Structures are given as C-alpha cells and as structure tokens.
Amino acid sequence: MGETARTTHVLVDGENIDATLGTSILGRRPRPEERPRWERLLQFVERRWGQQTNGLFFLAANSELPMSFVQALLAIGFRPVPLSGGANQKVVDIAIQRTLEAIRERDDDVVLVSNDGDFVEQVEGVLDGRRVGLVGFTEFRNSQFAQLTTRGLEFFDLEYDVNAFNERLPRVRIIPIDEFDPTQFL
C-alpha cells in the first residue's frame, strides 16, 4: 500500500487580513482590485512545499451569505467556511482555533493567514515536527509569533513573498539592502 500524500491546510482569517489592509495600510476600505488574489496563495503554498493544499476561508456571515464572494472562492479552489454566532463571539477566531487544534490529530501541515495573536497558542501546539507557516503583513504580525521561529514556524509576507496583489501597496517597511531599488523612490 502506497503512502498518502501530505496536505497543507491553508486557513485564511479573511477579516483580519481585510482589516489590516483597509485600516492599517490603505486607511480606507479596499477596492476590489486592491484585495489579495487568493488563488495565488494556494499556488504559492503548493509550489513552496510541493504538496496539495486544502484552502479554508473563514467568514463571519451572521445575517447574510455573500454569495458572489463565496462563488468566487469556490471557483479558485477554496472551501468557504461561513460562520455565525452571538454578538460577543469572534466566530472566525473560534473556528480557526478549533481547526488548528483538530489538525494536531492529523499528519498534515498548516499555513495560517492572519496577523492575529489570538492564534499563538494553537500555532505553538502544531509545531511538533510538521511544517507550519504564517502568512500576513510582516510589519503587522503579532510579535508573539517571533518566539516560535526557533520551533520551526516559517513566515511569509502576503505581498512580497506570495505576490498576492496586482499593484504595490503603500507600505512602509525595512528594506534589506540587497532588495533596495532606488528607482522605487524616484
């Protein structure tokens, strides 16, 4: 009997990425053309780790399901996970935390797409020899994740590593001298 191929579960905290993009980077609600091209994320992870992906996109959908967005996610290979709950429940966070805990029982890898420190404990729990990645915006990543690099956590930037955007975002970041291009400033 042959070995089954490993899977990388790609867990997207869409609310966190959207809020960071809108509030912290753009200073306004992102226009559709400024949002990440999510299919590039799945392609990046498949290429980077050389295995199939299971893309799960978590959505808070208390009153109405955003059908056009759900259909777009399905078309590019994600499984939308629409959630509802009480007014004080962070349903997306709860669902991602539970999913990370469930992954501990499987022989699979995981990539979390979020800057949110609410997942540090669960991410630490899956750092048991499997591949674990965190994708987000480097300058907005919760600093508690930094301590997990010694345990094997890999960091990827949604714009610079994944190339998930069609246009450069107006970000201020520390530029490694080997990447410095003066023409970007002229």
CA angle 17, 19, 24 (to 5 degrees): 100
What is the reported pLDDT for 4? Answer: 59
Which residues of the chain are under the pLDDT cut of 70? 1-4
What is the reported pLDDT for 176? Answer: 81
What is the reported pLDDT for 139? Answer: 92
Structural domains of the chain sorted by starting position, each given as residue range(s) with its CATH number in brackets: 7-184 (3.40.50.1010)
* Helices first, then strands: H and E counts in the chain: 5, 6
Q: Which of 8, 7, 13, 42 is nearest to 119 (CA)?
A: 13
pTM confidence score:
0.91
